[in-house]
Amino acid sequence: MTKKKPHILFLFSDTGGGHRAAADAITEALALEFDDALTTEMVDFLKDYAPPPYNQLPRFYPEMVKLPELWGVGYKISDGRPQARLVTSTLWPYVRNAARRLVREHPADLLVSVHPVGNSFFLKALGKNRPPFITVVTDMVTTHALWYDQRADLIIVPTRIAFERAVEYHMAPEKIFIAGQPISERHSRPELDKVALREKFGWPSDKFTILLVGGGDGMGPLAETARAIDESGLDVNQVIVTGRNARLKDYLETLSWENPTFLYGFTTDMPEFMRAANAIVTKAGPGTIAEALVAGLPVILYAKLPGQEDGNVTFVESAGVGVWAPDPLKVVRTLTRWICRADEREQVVENCRSAARPQSSRIIARLIASRLGLIDHDSVLEGIGQA
C-alpha cells in the first residue's frame, strides 16, 4: 500500500500582496526541495471563511490604509500582549464557527500561517490533538503582537530584531528561527542581463531605469512621485506597476509623459522587472524590499504603513540599502545623486547584496519538512541564525 503524502495547509489573506507572495514562495521551495513528496494548498481565510464584516478586509484594506494616521493609531493601541489577548478573546465568539469550519474542511498534517490575524483562532479551533502549527512572520522589524501565540510549534522570523520582539512577547527562544523574508526562487535566478531584459519588455535599453511600485495594491502617492521624476529633467525610463489598483492605472494612462514610461497592472514579472531596473521607488513593503535586495536594486521608500512598516524604514537606512524619501523632491534628489555618482550607487548595490537572503524560502521549506519527519532537524540548522 502506498503511504499518503503529508499535506500542508497555508493560511493567508490578500491584505496587500505580501502574504500570498510569501506562501507562494514557500510552496515553490517545498516543490524544489522535495519534489512531490508532499502536497500543499492555500486558503484565504478572511475572504473565504471570516464572518462579515471581517471577510471584507481584503477588499477594504487598500482603502483603510489611505488614512495612515488612523491606521497607525489602530496598530499601536492593539499592539502588545494584553491587547492581543483582549482582541482574541473578544472576537472568539464571532469567529469560532468559521475557524472550526475551516480546519474541518481542510484537514492537514501541518499548518503554516503567513498572516498575523487568525493564529490564535486557528490554534483554538484545532484543539489539543492537533497537527504542528508553524507561523512564518512576514513583517521585518515592527512585528505585531498578534503574530505570536505561545501555542505555535515554531515561529520563523525574517530578522534578528523580529526574533527579539518574539522573545519580548514571551515566545520560547528555542521555538524561534531566523530565516529571512520568504521570497520566490525566481528572484535569484536571472535568465537574462539588464539590457536583454529591457529589450524583451520593449523599454529603451540604454537608459537608467526606475521601477515604481506600491505593493500588491498600488498604495501611496505613486502618481505624484512618478510625475515629479518625469518633470525633473532626468533622462530615465519609468516602469510603473500599479498592482491591483486599476483606478490608478487608468488615471496614469490619461497623462502624457516626457520620458519613456511603461504602465503595468498586477504583474507576475516582478523578478525580471527588478533585474532590469537600476533603482526601485516603493512603499516600504517587506516582500518588495527583500526581493530588491536579492536583485541588487537600491531602494527609495516613498511611503510606509505607520506601525507595521516603520521598522522597515529603519532597516533599509541602517543597512545602507536605500533612503526614506516621503517627499517626491527627496525621491528626485536621491535618484539624481545615484545617477550622477556611480560610485555611491555601486556601494548601495553592494550593500543590497550583503543584506540579501536568497535562501530564505529553501530554509523555511526544510524547517517545515523536518517537522513532518521528511528530513533530519539537525541538518536544517546549518545556515540558520538562532540565538
| 58 touches ligand UDP by CB under 6 A | no
Q: How far is the CB of 7 from ligand UDP (least distance, A)?
A: 25
**Interface residues for ligand UDP in 224-283 (CB under 6 A)?**
241, 243, 266-267, 270
| 17 touches ligand UDP by CB under 6 A | yes
Distances in Å between the Cα of 337 and the Cα atoms of 297, 323, 346, 374 are 15, 12, 12, 51
Q: How far is the CB of 270 from ligand UDP (least distance, A)?
A: 4
Report whether 386 contacts 376 (CB < 8 A): no
If you search the block for the grid coordinates 556601494, which residue do you land on? 347
| 16 touches ligand UDP by CB under 6 A | yes
Count of residues that interact with ligand UDP, criterion CB under 6 A: 18
Smaller CB distance to ligand UDP: residue 21 or 103? 21
| 291 touches ligand UDP by CB under 6 A | yes
Of 139, 163, 202, 181, give the one whose Cα is nearest residue 292.
Answer: 181
| 208 touches ligand UDP by CB under 6 A | no
CA–CA dist 114, 118 (Å, integer): 10
> Burial, 96: exposed, middle or buried (Cβ in 10 Å; 0-12, 13-18, 19+)?
middle
Q: Which three cell numbers stand for residue 261?
A: 514610461
If you search the block for the grid coordinates 493567508, which residue do you land on? 12
Report whether 263 contacts 280 (CB < 8 A): no
Q: How far is the CB of 61 from ligand UDP (least distance, A)?
A: 9
Report the half-sphere exposure of 286 (CA within 13 A, side-chain side). 29
| 316 touches ligand UDP by CB under 6 A | no
Q: How far is the CB of 216 from ligand UDP (least distance, A)?
A: 4
Smaller CB distance to ligand UDP: residue 71 or 266? 266
Q: How far is the CB of 363 from ligand UDP (least distance, A)?
A: 18
Q: List, in sequence order, every residue forming a beta bridge with 281; answer none if it has no partner.
A: 212, 300
Position 193: which residue type? D
| 285 touches ligand UDP by CB under 6 A | yes
Q: Which three cell numbers stand for residue 304?
A: 510606509
Q: Which stretch binds ligand UDP (CB under 6 A): 1-9, 14-22, 26-34, 254-262?
A: 14-22
Here's the x/- map for ligand UDP, 338-367, by CB under 6 A: it reads as ------------------------------
DSSP annotation of 385: B
Binding positions for ligand UDP, rule: CB under 6 A: 16-18, 21, 213, 215-217, 241, 243, 266-267, 270, 285-288, 291
